[in-house]
Structure 1
Amino acid sequence: MADRGQIQDDERLRRIEAVTDATLSRLDAADLFDELLDRVRDLLDVDTAAILLLDTHAQQLVATAARGLEEEVRQGFRVSVGRGFAGRIALTRQPVVIEEVTAGAVVNPILLAMGLRSLLGVPMLVRGELIGVLHVGTLRPRRFDADDVRLLELVADRASQANLARAHNLDHTAALALQRSLLPAQLPDVPGLDMAARYVPGHVAGIGGDWYDVFTLPSGWLGLVIGDVSGHGLQSAVIMGRVRSALRAYALVCDGPAEALTLLDRKIGHFEAGILTTALYAMVSPDRTRVRLSTAGHLPPVLAVPGLPGTPVPVRVDPPLGTSRRPPRRQHTEVGLPPGAVLVCFTDGLVERRREVIDVGLAKLAEAVRPAPAEEVCDTVMRAVGAEQPTDDIAMLVVRRLPTPP
């Protein structure tokens, strides 16, 4: 009896190792689903295996991967939580065994048409949250035991982790595409001005909350925006898109930047509660001689005019957007933009460094900004502040008024 028990233990260990070996970690989610289903069919000696993932908005399980039940996936079979075999597993979040399949026990006609006799299913969980159901079936009567249930639960755990990785990759791809669509692919060609910009992600995922925007208003004024939405990833990218669109809309109906930021603050505080956002909104006059600007928790831009060193614009900083503090925003600050002058707008990632006070970075930036072509200013600033390996996202927008022709 001892030898038989040892043989059973060794067999159980082999079966567990078959679904947890290191080679599976190198597969993408779709291939991992297929590989796991192939292995579990062999290990449990079953005819079918299928994964149905939960559509949280519809509260339905959707056939996503299958072996022996490929038609279920091709038809995009769905079943509501609580209905039928898979729906009962999702509702109770407990394994379910059907030793004799009947029309009353299942609602999927494909299972009945195949002539399946016995079924075993387990929930797929991630951090206690249901994400789907994994089930197997046989064409002959079968009594699934506790070891079968534990093995299938182990497979379900591996499949759940794979789906989590897939969802993360999808979110990353979507966030990256969204962010790139929000940053101007090319700055507009504006008479009398020379412009350039840089964006450098400081997060390993390449997705941050820093952004900039440039647009021409019907009045002939030019809008310049640079902002920073707290956080990283898809949520920050989505909020960035909302903030950008809202500010463009408010810019059309407001005469000054302070008024536009006031409306934006109300919008963020109501619809994006808990999200902290900073923004600088500047407007360049149609004759390009002056700039009106207002800032909500954002660092002031640096202005360099011919013959003088670069200095921060003396603008009063209002509270960030989305905070509970909502005093009336100060009137905008207006500064001159002489021929050849350069205005550099930036996010804090350009000047903040670990173990270094921000004043050091601001001093380096001011010293590096000199009247020159906008692209040259960008390159000079990036080298001066050591932006090749940033610890935070960097966005920079440089606007230069072209020198007056002789």
Structure 2
Amino acid sequence: MSTSDIDFEAVFHALPGAVALLSRDLVFADANEAYLSLSGLTREQVMGRYLFDVFPDNPGDPSASGMRNLQASLRRVASTGESDSMALQRYDVEDPDRPGVWEERYWSPINVPVLGPDGAVALVLHRVEEVTELIRARGTRSGGDGARVLEAELYTRARELQELNTRLREAHAREREVALHLQQAMLPVPDPLGHRAAVRYRPATGSLNVCGDWYDLIDLSDRDHTVVAVGDVVGHGLPAAGVMGQLRSALSAASRVAGGPAQALDVLGLYARHVDGAESTTAVSVFIDWTGHTLTYSSAGHPPPLLCHPDGTVTFLDQATDPPLGARPEHVSRPQSQVGFTNGSTLVLYTDGLIERRHEDIDTGLHRLADSLTRHRTADPDQLADALLTDLIPPAGITDDTALVVLRL
């Protein structure tokens, strides 16, 4: 049986665990039979309603925090795209047959993002398991006050876990800030081309996803040639940013003396073999000959640059693609190719965060970029760069960093 033959809606409703699907605004989009049975509510009582209108905190207990904790978890999952397994929570539920009477209940929730075709969070899957009877049984074995003692222990452990998570998030945020400052300090502004070029760098949405993306623009000594390059180091955080700085500097130096982009990437590949963390880095380099109106390019496993002609047709520079740095056991010289351009054409280089989305073929992202480039091709480079980011980056943000270079030729 193929996946096309499976009725996934029927599977969802048949799941033995209690599961609800919530919109990013925490409105019920669906709930399976186990969830409705556990909650004691009908489908009509939950569908299309805000979660915390259906399940408010106990108004008679000013210290009740279970629903607030759940809300914080769900919103964090919706904004970051990261799953969250919560500590055991107590939140009371109003008896549907006795309005105003609240029952003490204990729950173990897990919240998981459901991504849409564009890679952004479309829904949040909320799975909940009730452990009230287990808590009560433990309390019975422990004596009359056992349940309260256990509850206090659970709350203490939950607070400790929450405090630990807070400290970890703060530490990750500090690391991310340092990595961003390091990254931005090493990325140049497009002085060689002035108003003819625009560059953009967009970090990933998640606090742990600072990556090793870079770009570079170099005016060669004869002033008739300019080199533009982008690259992407595998990994995250400060280590990736540090490797990025080494490789960008090495490629910049090699480009100033190399006979072309293939030779520059050959030198970079040899250098990368001696840099921890540089393996599988991708990079692409384009040498622009302003007098001869040609682009000579070479790619080390990187997505192809795009050349948009004045009439709106787009050429993918994909005829000189080789594996990423360090991918081969032995060094092999890299290929390069050449294409002509006319005045008014636009060259776009980028890293994969701009086009790659989970559960989507990369060709879809490439064609999306080409279509956007064609539509906005008459805009100046700054406006064009912003338009490309607006068209390609989902509202919820991206899970990988993005570097973008736009040049008017």
Q: TM-score, normalised by structure 2?
A: 0.54
Number of residue equivalences = 244
- Give 2:222's aligned residue: 219
Range moving further from structure 2, 359-368 or 265-274: 265-274
Post-superposition offset of 1:216: 1.1
Post-superposition offset of 1:380: 2.7
- Give 1:322's aligned residue: 326
Contact 2:262 2:335 in 1 (8 A): yes
- Give 2:386's aligned residue: 379
Distance, in Å, in 2 between the alignment partners of 1:328 and 1:182 is: 29
- Give 2:399's aligned residue: 391
- Give 1:302's aligned residue: 306
Task: Indicate which of 188, 193, 210 corresponds to 1:190.
Answer: 193
Distance, in Å, in 2 between the alignment partners of 1:321 and 1:215 is: 21
Range moving further from structure 2, 259-268 or 279-288: 279-288
Post-superposition offset of 1:199: 1.2
1:227 partner SS: strand
Deviation sequence 1:206-262 (CA, Å, 0-9, x none): 622111111112132211010100111000000000001111111122111101101
Distance, in Å, in 2 between the alignment partners of 1:390 and 1:166 is: 21
Task: Indicate which of 286, 294, 297 corresponds to 1:282.
Answer: 286
Contact 1:179 1:207 in 2 (8 A): no
Contact 2:350 2:404 in 1 (8 A): yes
Identity of aligned residues (%): 36
Q: Does 1:267 align with 2:271?
A: yes
Post-superposition offset of 1:345: 0.7
1:391 maps to a residue whose letter is T
- Give 1:202's aligned residue: 204
Larger radius of gyration: 1
2:387 maps to a residue whose letter is T
Deviation sequence 1:41-82 (CA, Å, 0-9, x none): xxxxxxxxxxxxxxxxxxxxxxxxxxxxxxxxxxxxxxxxxx
- Give 1:292's aligned residue: 296
Q: 1:341 to 1:160 in 2, by over 3 A?
A: closer
Post-superposition offset of 1:163: 9.3
- Give 1:241's aligned residue: 245
Range moving further from structure 2, 326-335 or 166-175: 166-175
Deviation sequence 1:133-164 (CA, Å, 0-9, x none): xxxxxxxxxxxxxxxxxxxxxxxxxx999998
Post-superposition offset of 1:270: 2.2
Distance, in Å, in 1 between the alignment partners of 2:169 and 2:391 is: 39
2:391 maps to a residue whose letter is A
Q: Does 1:400 align with 2:408?
A: yes
Q: 1:357 to 1:252 in 2, by over 3 A?
A: same
Distance, in Å, in 2 between the alignment partners of 1:169 and 1:378 is: 27
Q: 1:190 to 1:288 in 2, by over 3 A?
A: farther
Q: 1:170 to 1:304 in 2, by over 3 A?
A: closer
1:231 partner SS: coil
- Give 1:107's aligned residue: none
Task: Indicate which of 179, 182, 196 corresponds to 1:178.
Answer: 182
Post-superposition offset of 1:340: 0.7
1:399 maps to a residue whose letter is L
Q: 1:163 to 1:204 in 2, by over 3 A?
A: closer
- Give 1:232's aligned residue: 236
Deviation sequence 1:261-295 (CA, Å, 0-9, x none): 01111111123366320001111114271111110
1:271 partner SS: coil
Structure 2, unmatched stretches of 5+, are 1-162
Task: Indicate which of 315, 340, 350 corresponds to 1:336.
Answer: 340
Post-superposition offset of 1:368: 1.4
- Give 2:260's aligned residue: 256
Q: 1:173 to 1:386 in 2, by over 3 A?
A: closer
- Give 1:85's aligned residue: none
Deviation sequence 1:75-121 (CA, Å, 0-9, x none): xxxxxxxxxxxxxxxxxxxxxxxxxxxxxxxxxxxxxxxxxxxxxxx
- Give 1:59's aligned residue: none
Post-superposition offset of 1:197: 1.6
Structure 1, unmatched stretches of 5+, are 1-158, 402-406
Q: 1:163 to 1:385 in 2, by over 3 A?
A: closer
1:202 partner SS: coil
1:378 partner SS: helix
Q: 1:161 to 1:182 in 2, by over 3 A?
A: same
Distance, in Å, in 1 between the alignment partners of 2:388 and 2:304 is: 16
1:270 partner SS: coil
Paired residues for 1:147-186 under 5 Å: 171-184=175-188, 186=189
Distance, in Å, in 2 between the alignment partners of 1:324 and 1:297 is: 12
RMSD: 2.9
